[in-house]
Structure 1
């Protein structure tokens, strides 16, 4: 129901890149340019400035982005409500989620969905981002939720919400640093990191690469395959880790872990819903996706 041109525009606006928007939407860059130009002609306004190879939003573009985000959210809510008017959803829904999502974001919204659609039998597979992608491609799950930077061209990705990784260590008597520490100082700590194939490690690796730093140059005390293990390790050691802000609220509030602000390092990432490219989602999966968008956007407010 929503205008695909608005999706294209919003993707360019998020990335400030026509190339990245084309990659995200699995269309060509000329097609992205065509859709944006059609919108510009429709509104008789320039939406982007293109100077010296850089893309930025015009004032009109910023206004349109604000409304485009609201329109997208209204469409999701409308779909969820209309589907909820009858209880045709039934059968099995096989979900998969990478570790952070499977531990902290997806389970709390499952009971509400089950109450609304009691005839849907739910299962949830937990794995890292790479494993969830493989499960989708092998037909083992219907809908996945993942984090990370690298996209598989055989899968379709849809933004669920944004997240941030924070540097974390065992809380000390003096409390966390009052000012952000230089990146070089932080990386002198022994580090406990997620395993290869995880979206968390992928985001850190990409960010360090911008500073010409390789993982092989770091002192890694341990690689662990789940966030709970990392948090327990940190509490018992002098190591430092990088963990989702959504995963450490209780430990920080209890004074067991502390956040270490780091200068020059910004570890933002996306949480995406993902399914096989070109294949329609089963009705139950469509409903769960709409429900997840609504519940998680409400929680982020």
Structure 2
């Protein structure tokens, strides 16, 4: 494991801020300052110039950064080669997932992976795409599974699986027996929607607009920040909704809601795997990446 002070130093460099580093590491700002001070006292030099609340590396700081990057690489190589030598896959794997994936896909995937590799300690963190990307960038997570756009230049992105939005209704609704309905029928019933700013809402509003149906025509009666709350409201005849097929799958299979496709438009979005380009992968990380891309993972989700 990297020395705690070095890990804090790398995060401060990455965030260019003591306060942002403290937030990323779940530490207080004084604790971060103490770790940097410990390094500066040990090497008898200043690592950062602090001018008008802005920080920059000194020449000593740049030298420490160079060696710290090499230490990180060597630590990852050691862990990987040691596990290859012993023939085991173990260690801690930190996975982040955005909300829909974290609630409806990740538990199945992590459960199946844990059965294959019981010595891997798995930790799942669920948040919005921006939060997950930030923690991948600061190397606080090993792998992220996200549904929103990713912009970080140090982030590697790979396609994982396609999501498809569908309409859901109660089983008593006039549309319950239909396989698909026209987008121009959507304004006939109250719509229960995710909140403004939701990724799901943005996908269907953009898609409807491109297909010639102004989103303002939707009869939005309620807004919820939880897809589970939306499904409960729909099941109780309070309105219809548009959600991910993965979120609708279980309740539809149990006969508690009905789901159908939309005509005139295909509301699709990619779910992506993300990881830091410069963070070396442990055998556990490599194993999970390989598992996510396998037919086995897809079969588990389609069950």
Match of 2:150 in 1: 151
Equivalent-residue separation in structure 1 for 2:116 and 2:179 (angstroms) = 47
SS of 1:126's partner is: strand
Alpha-carbon distance, 1:92 to partner: 1.8
Larger Rg: 2
Match of 1:131 in 2: 131
Q: Contact 2:170/2:176 (CA < 8 Å) preserved in 1?
A: no
Match of 1:185 in 2: 185
Match of 2:202 in 1: 202
Q: Any unmatched runs of 5+ in structure 1?
A: 1-82
2:277 is the counterpart of 1:283: no
SS of 1:233's partner is: helix
Alpha-carbon distance, 1:213 to partner: 5.1
Match of 1:71 in 2: none
Q: Contact 2:167/2:241 (CA < 8 Å) preserved in 1?
A: yes
Q: Any unmatched runs of 5+ in structure 2?
A: 1-82
Alpha-carbon distance, 1:164 to partner: 1.1
Q: Contact 1:142/1:282 (CA < 8 Å) preserved in 2?
A: no
Q: Contact 1:130/1:197 (CA < 8 Å) preserved in 2?
A: no
Equivalent-residue separation in structure 2 for 1:169 and 1:95 (angstroms) = 33
Using structure 2 for the length normalisation, give the TM-score: 0.62
Q: Please say which of residues 129-138 and 102-111 is displaced more in the overlay.
A: 129-138
Q: Contact 2:178/2:260 (CA < 8 Å) preserved in 1?
A: no
| Length, aligned pairs only | 218
Using structure 1 for the length normalisation, give the TM-score: 0.62
Equivalent-residue separation in structure 2 for 1:224 and 1:281 (angstroms) = 38
Q: Contact 1:142/1:275 (CA < 8 Å) preserved in 2?
A: yes
Q: Contact 1:129/1:198 (CA < 8 Å) preserved in 2?
A: no
Q: Contact 1:170/1:237 (CA < 8 Å) preserved in 2?
A: yes
Alpha-carbon distance, 1:192 to partner: 2.1
